[in-house]
Structure 1
Amino acid sequence: MDEEALNLSMRKFLKMVGVSSQREIEHAVAAALEKGRIAGGETLPATMTLAVPGLQLQVSFDGELKLAAE
């Protein structure tokens, strides 16, 4: 196994996930605000699931998205 290749590919994958996820969340928040489904001051629970079937890995990370400063 080439650890450097693995490390570089993981970083590339995680960067893509981070940028794409942020964009999707921003669009979803804007749409929900426009349609009146949220007011804009909420804290929303969020879950991210990572799956790598070839490694039989599936793990979820829980957190929250705060739409306003406390």
Structure 2
Amino acid sequence: MDDEAFNISLRKFLKMVGVSSQREIEQAVAKALQEGAISGSESFPAKMTLEIPGVKLQVHFDGEIRLQ
């Protein structure tokens, strides 16, 4: 295994996931605010699942997104 190649590809993947996830959440919240579906003071439970079938990895992350 090439540790450097692994590390670079792992960081690239995590950056893509982080940036893309943030953009999707921001767009969903903006749309819900625009439609009046939320007031802007809520907190929402959030879940994320990471799967890599080739190494039999499936891990769940739970958190919270607060608007205030």
Give the TM-score normalised by the residue count of structure 2.
0.96
Identity %: 68
Structure 2, unpaired ranges of 5+? none
Shift in Å, 1:15: 0.2
CA RMSD of aligned residues (A): 0.6
Give the TM-score normalised by the residue count of structure 1.
0.93
The count of corresponding residues between Structure 1 and Structure 2 is 68
Task: Tell me the residue number matched to 1:65.
Answer: 65
TM superposition outliers: structure 1 runs of 4+ over 4 Å: none
Q: How many angstroms apart in 2 are the aligned matches of 1:7 and 1:47? A: 25
Q: How many angstroms apart in 1 are the aligned matches of 2:35 and 2:61? A: 28
